[in-house]
Structure 1
Amino acid sequence: MIPYGAGINSALAIGEQLGVTPGESAWIVAAYPLTQGTFVLMGGRIGAVYGHRNVVAAAGIWWVVWTLISGFMTDVISLSIMRALSGIGGAFIVPNAIALLTITFPPGRMRNISVGLFGAMAPIGAAGGSVFPGFFVQLLPWKWLFFFLAILGSAIFTLFVLVVPKEPERMDPNGKIDFIGAYLGVAGLILFNFVWNQAPNVGWDEPYEYALLILSILHIVAFALWESTFAKDPILPLNIWKAPSFAWMILSTFFTCMAVGILIWYASLWNLQIRHYSLFLNAAGFATLAVCGAIAAILSAVAIRHLAAQYIMAIGSLASATALVLVCTMPEQQTYWAQMFPALIIIALGPDFLFTASQIIASNTVKRSQQGMAGSVIGTVLSYGLSTGLGFAGTVEAYTNSHGRDPVQGYRNALYLGIGMAVCAAAMALTFVRIPKDRREGWDEDA
């Protein structure tokens, strides 16, 4: 779910083998979370109609196929397209996997623990993901990384089908899919993200950048209008947005996710491009974040019963801002232990702490039949925030690095943007979010 150093490590190494710049390598990094963060918008609704377990199994097959095909690509553009297609599979896996947990476990301690463990899998998986990409990409042709992932995915999803029992009933077997709303939402998000991730490479002098930006905004406005006024079976349940402070909580989480994505990308660039770390050494550095992130996810599941949502949001946002300050003020050459190490410990309270808390709050906000759609909301915020933040930061970097002559200054300015995002997120949480601590045990359909 979260790239940490793993996807960035492999993307930069693959880009080096393909002979492209770090900026073009960013396409490989951004392509997967772009489609995962947009198509996840409709993933939960499709699971409610066709069965969450069925959708996870089908999405797993899709993911394996496109990951395998990725290994046969010959240039960064075709590889990025294949990664984007793989991300569609991830978009349908995440909300429906969470829905299986939150349907099985009603609101209460067991749900919090299960979602916390699910959230902890991201940093734990990233710890292994930081090592294997380095092994395959540094010691073998990069295509073997994708062949290995396809084999591993085949084994995992086969085990999923054999072990996870069938759902006793689908949540909405007679429901329909709002394809118009799905198109408007997904297209709007993809276009908006594409514009910002393309801008650092082509600049804002290109007329099509403005044209696509306007088109994306029109799609998003049309989506909101259609969902609120015309859609009979909306992609997202409207009662989520009517819950007190919920929209502000989502916006605060989104800003924090953008800030975290910026830190992870530029911390990796700093290690690899400025300090000339090897892939293995950079992966070892990010192991700190993997361990602390797993701990943070579990702590968040406990904290949700004892802290109001605004304080959990503020903790995650301020921790992210503090980590960004440590990284952006580093000297060009410095021991890892001085500022990078504490920054990666502190940033763990950002994505993993917020993901678990936000998912539990969203799941507790809606009815049992809408658990997949609650997962879609949080999945969109998480993945789309990580990807979109890179586009904003890349634009700042490209226009402030003296045409490539001062890359470190460009990195610093991009990190300053991340600090601003994280501080804004904390301010929004403390000012506008008022969601009390939740100690419910069991379903409360009327609420």
Structure 2
Amino acid sequence: MSPTGAMSEKASHSASSNVRLDLEYAEPTMSDTTNSPTETDEAAKDDPIELTRTKSIAETLSLPREILVVAIVCSAQLLTQAGLGNVQTIVHIIGDHFGLTAGELPWLIAGYSLTVGTFILISGRFGDVFGYKRMLLIGFSWMAIWTMVLGLSFYSNHVLFTFARVLQGIGPAIMLPNGLAILGATYAPGRRKAMVFAIFGATAPTGSVIGSTFSGLFALAWWPWTYWSFSIYLVIITVVGSYIVPDPPKKSTFADKPLKEKLWDLDLPGATAGVTALVLFNFAWNQAPLVGWPKAYVYVVMIIGILFVPLFFYIELRVSPYPLIPFEALSSDVAFVLASVACGWSGFGIWYYYIWQYAQVLRGASPLLSSAWVAPVVPSGIIAAIITGLVIHRIGPPPVMMIALTAFTIGIVLIMTAPLSQTYWAQFFLCTLITPWGMDMSFPAATLILSDAVKKEHQGIGASLVNTVVNYSISLGLGFAGTVEVHVNNGGTTPEDILKGYRAAWYMAVGLSGLGMGISTLYCFICWRANKMRANLSEKDEEAKA
């Protein structure tokens, strides 16, 4: 769930923008004041020499304000993962309060990831139309409201908690693409921009551990304060961000249109069909382990979700003037990348959920101790983000993607085969060091591969698609794993049976990440062969000229 510093020159654009933000948002320098802004902008677009006389929005900011801007925008990533961690670590305390069974607990995680992944594409389009800063602040505010409701659900029941949890995920879905768009619009290509995106990526594992640690602390007193304090912090971020974060101009395609045309350009019919298909299909897979596949409504919901898929494609291809996904941008390269990402991150979601269950249910760790056990993902993830940013342009994105999927697979195998009585410092510790390399290498590699694969006017769609696939795959993977677990754990009445169910879920994760490793290896070979063929053709052309 984390972009890194490798999201540099070509991939650090709006999460759904189809323009080159660095040119569109360049501001005239003092030497350009003799011309009108319109004349300067047009000259800059037509004459490459003029580009050297422009500067990015970041260059107009003082250093203290720039630091605050980066901190606030990166909070979008940090708080997204903190929202995941602050339920995961105390999920059993919440479940005991509401009287939930073990089979109902995964919904508290999957529901959040479901809405995060489902609403990213449409949220990015809202940013294009109404402004990235405005949507970022709306995302913070939305998350604050529903986080407050999570705490208030203490006085109600688990239905309100689950409902609020699902709606809470819409906030990060708004924050992530528009935060990326602000960074892409604010910074010109270069090392400074790469470092900013490295920071953005490094906040993912950090946010998860911060969220889990504070929820463990508050749970020692009263667990609702986990969410009330989180909501207060979100309100503070919203207020400070309204004054500090710059407001890049809206995309020119939509900026001058009347409101009625803007609403049409949002592609609301396509968004409705797409969101409905994703939500219903995911709901069926995550509900089935809880109530059982024989329940008729599970099949009905899944079938309805599948039927919405062709409707979505019809609207996008035949009706919408500005489809959410430009299908001409989808190629075999894009298919390889998204398939690898989906396999790797669905496996990661299973690893993440069940490693907490393993620590707390089978090894008896408290929320704080289990947070400490998982904490090595923070330094490991930061190192992975920095190294990926440094090497990805030297060895290329395809090998990085292959290495990332290998890290996912090895990390899952380590915890899957760990004996219950084994010391923490053996396989448990090693898997928390290795798995973050899959996180912080796969996202930037996927983004850059998509950036190379699509046309210039569709550069921004890469980050948007990868974000969607990452978060949706986490939720869907938990549904797959839950189905496997309940069919092999014999009811989970003994520690042996519980462990058997957890390992079965991890076997599912290994299968998914292993499939992704195979796909990424095949794609790496295809790219190597294509490059070799181009090199041979180039040599023949030179020989012919000679």
1:228 is aligned to 317
Deviation at 1:58, TM superposition (A): 1.5
SS at match of 2:376: helix
Q: Distance in 1 between matches of 2:454 and 2:140?
A: 26
Letter of the aligned partner of 2:514 in structure 1? Answer: V
C-alpha distance in 2, partners of 1:132/1:366? 42
Question: Which of structures 1 and 2 has the bigger CA Rg?
Answer: 2
Q: Which residue of 1 aligns with 2:186?
A: 104
Q: CA deviation at 1:340?
A: 0.4
Q: Give the 3 Å change call, closer, same or farther, for CA 152–369 of structure 1 in structure 2.
A: farther
Query: Are 2:241 and 1:185 equivalent residues in the alignment?
Result: no
Q: 2:253 aligns to what SS in structure 1?
A: coil
Does residue 176 of structure 2 align to residue 85 of structure 1?
A: no
The one-letter code of the counterpart of 1:286 is: V
Q: 1:149 aligns with which of 225, 230, 249?
A: 230
Offset, 1:5: 5.1
Given the superposition, is the C-alpha separation of residues 300 and 229 from structure 1 closer, same or farther in structure 2, using an over 3 Å criterion? Answer: farther
Provide Cα deviations, 1:304-323, integer angstroms capped at 9, x if missing partner. Answer: 21223221111111111111
Find the counterpart in structure 2 of residue 136 from structure 1: 218
Q: In the alignment, which of 121, 128, 136 is matched to residue 56 of structure 1?
A: 136
Label 1:403 to 1:145 Cα distance change in 2 as closer, same or farther (>3 A). same
The one-letter code sitting in structure 2 at the alignment partner of 1:172 is T
Query: In the alignment, is the contact (CA less than 8 A) between 1:245 and 1:435 conserved in 2?
Result: no
After TM superposition, give the deviation of residue 168 of structure 1 in Å: 3.1
Query: Could you tell me which of 215, 219, 222 is aligned with 2:308?
Result: 219
Q: CA deviation at 1:239?
A: 4.0
Kept after mapping to 2: 8 A contact 1:308/1:435 = no
Q: What is aligned with 2:92? A: 12
The structural deviation recorded for 1:97 is: 0.6
8 Å contact 1:286–1:344 — kept in the other structure? yes
Structure 1: distance between partners of 2:86 and 2:422: 22
Which residue does the alignment assign to 2:31? none
Match of 2:57 in 1: none
Counterpart residue identity of residue 211, structure 2: G
User: Secondary structure, in 3 states, of the residue corresponding to 1:350?
Assistant: helix
Q: Identity over aligned residues, as a percent?
A: 34
Q: Distance in 2 between matches of 1:346 and 1:288?
A: 10
**In the alignment, which residue of structure 1 is the partner of 2:336?**
248
Residue 360 of structure 2 corresponds to residue 265 of structure 1: no
Q: Which residue does 2:414 correspond to in 1?
A: 326
Number of the residue aligned with 1:440: none
In the alignment, what sits opposite 1:28?
Answer: 108
Distance 1:127 1:390 in 2: 20
Amino acid at match of 1:199: A
Work out the number of aligned pairs and report it: 435
Aligned to 2:419, the other structure's residue is in SS state: coil
* 1:412 partnered with 2:503: yes
2:203 and 2:232 mapped to 1: Cα distance? 19
| Aligned-partner residue type, residue 473 of structure 2 | G
1:102 Cα shift?
2.1
Q: In the alignment, is residue 423 of structure 1 matched against residue 514 of structure 2?
A: yes
Residue of structure 2 in register with 1:158 after alignment: 239
Closer, same or farther: CA 171–390 of 1 in aligned 2, 3 Å: farther
In the aligned structure 1, how far is the partner of 2:130 from the partner of 2:238? 18
Partner of 1:47: 127
Counterpart pick for 2:435 among 336, 340, 347: 347
Query: Using the alignment, how far apart are the partners of 2:390 and 2:314 within structure 1?
Result: 38
Aligned mate of 2:209, from 120, 124, 127: 127
Q: Following TM superposition, by how much is the alpha carbon of 1:371 offset from its aligned partner in structure 2, in angstroms?
A: 6.2
RMSD value, Cα? 2.2
Whether the 8 Å contact between 2:128 and 2:250 is mirrored in structure 1 is no
Aligned residue identity for 2:440: D
The answer as to 2:478 corresponding to 1:390 is yes
SS, match of residue 404 in structure 1: coil
Distance 1:6 1:68, change over 3 A: closer
Mean Cα displacement is larger for which, 300-309 or 120-129? 300-309
Q: Is contact 1:95-1:376 (8 Å) kept?
A: yes
State which drifts further: 379-388 or 169-178: 169-178
Which residue of structure 1 lines up, in the alignment, with residue 145 of structure 2?
A: 65
Cα distance between partner residues in 2 of 1:118 and 1:393: 30
* CA distance in 1 between partners of 2:192 and 2:310 (Å): 39
Q: Evaluate the alpha carbon distance shift between residue 304 and residue 227 of structure 1 in structure 2; reply closer, same or farther with a 3 A threshold.
A: farther
Deviations 1:357-382 (A, max 9, x none): 33344456667876664432122111
Partner of 2:197: 115
Q: Which residue in the other structure is 2:249 paired with? A: 168
State which of 279, 286, 307 in structure 1 corresponds to 2:374: 286
Within 2, Cα distance between the matches of 1:217 and 1:108?
A: 43
Task: Please identify, of 174-183 and 386-395, the stretch whose mean Cα deviation from structure 2 is larger.
Answer: 174-183
Go from structure 1 to structure 2 and tell me whether the alpha carbon gap of 1:333 and 1:17 turns closer, same or farther (over 3 Å shift).
farther
The 5 A counterparts of 1:187-206 are 187-206=276-295
Q: CA offsets, 1:322-360, max 9 Å, x none?
A: 111111111122211111000111101112221233334
1:318 aligned partner, one-letter code: T
CA-to-aligned-CA distance 1:222-249 (integer Å, 9 cap, x gap): 223332333211012334314x502210
Deviation sequence 1:156-204 (CA, Å, 0-9, x none): 1222221111113435323511011101111111111111111111111
Task: Please give the alpha-carbon distance, in whole angstroms, between the structure 2 residues aligned to 1:267 and 1:358.
Answer: 26
Alignment pair present for 1:432 and 2:523: yes
CA distance in 2, matches of 1:58, 1:6: 22
Quote the Cα distance in structure 2 between the aligned partners of 1:375 and 1:131: 29
Instruction: Report the Cα offset of residue 426 of structure 1.
Output: 1.1
Q: Is the 8 A contact 1:112 1:302 kept in 2?
A: no
